[in-house]
């Protein structure tokens, strides 16, 4: 239900009588559509690539920090595990398996004691 041009609806308040060839809502939709198209092109060309690059860099930083923390935690775990020889560095999976078996062995010894 569009009102006639010059009617008392909220959409026609600021429209001048000379520009009311279209219904107020249609005119507003046309203006918005044109503005969106021109902004959309500018954004998709340069800004989208910049955003993607920025997001990728942030994701890379998060992953780098995550791996740094994981490696630090594994180093701390290696420092408390008894290894022979002492200078041998266990791989990540070896460290986890050894820690699991070591905890299991300690649990069994506590149960027997």
Q: What is the pLDDT of residues 44-57, one digit of tens each?
A: 778 999 999 999 99
Q: Are 12 and 5 a contacting pair, CB within 8 Å?
A: yes
Q: What is the pLDDT of residues 75-113, one digit of tens each?
A: 999 999 998 887 788 999 999 999 999 999 999 999 998
Tokens of 97: 């398996």
Q: Which domains does the chain have, with CATH numbers?
A: 45-112 (4.10.280)
pLDDT of 62 reads 98
């Amino acid at each position: 239900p569009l009102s006639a041009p010059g009617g008392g609806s909220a959409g026609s308040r600021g429209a001048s009588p000379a520009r009311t060839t279209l219904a107020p809502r249609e005119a507003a939709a046309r203006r918005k559509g044109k503005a969106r198209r021109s902004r959309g092109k500018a954004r998709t060309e340069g800004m989208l690539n910049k955003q993607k690059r920025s997001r990728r860099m942030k994701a890379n930083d998060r992953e780098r920090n995550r791996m740094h923390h994981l490696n630090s935690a594994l180093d701390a775990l290696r420092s408390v595990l008894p290894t022979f020889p002492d200078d041998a560095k266990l791989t990540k999976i070896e460290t986890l398996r050894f820690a699991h078996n070591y905890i299991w062995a300690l649990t069994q010894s506590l149960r027997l004691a």
